[in-house]
Amino acid sequence: TPYNAGKSSYMSDFTYTDPAGLLRSAATGDVAKELYTAQPNTILDPIKVGSSYLLLEVGEDTQDEGMASYLSMFYDYYSGSQNQQDFSQALYTSDAFEDNFLTTFLTVVLGQ
């Protein structure tokens, strides 16, 4: 699972490999740094999450040839599309967002 610091919808996050949410609950910056800087095939110290403990073994990076071919073919399209989607999502979920399109349209464009 890649580390998704910016919460981009372009990348998957721990929800795909962690259905119970334990690793996501423990995914602080320090834990993420330890996960992604540890040597392959090592077992990390136990991480306490609530009343549970996580035992994590770091795997090795491997390249999926099928996915590499797919990404090289569709990256330009998906990159622009996902950047726009991420921007829109950030805009619409912002506390500063005010949905006043209809009133603005009626008063400014239609003059009513």
Query: What tens-digit pLDDT sequence spans the chain (112 residues)?
Result: 555 666 666 665 556 666 666 666 666 778 778 888 889 899 988 888 778 888 888 888 777 777 778 777 777 777 788 888 888 888 888 888 888 999 999 999 988 7
Q: What pTM value is reported for the model?
A: 0.40
3 state SS for the chain: CCCCCCCCCCCCCCCCCCCCCHHHHHCCHHHHHHHHHCCCCCECCCEEECCEEECCECCCCCCCHHHHHHHHHHHHHHHHHHHHHHHHHHHHCCCCCCCCHHHHHHHHHCCC
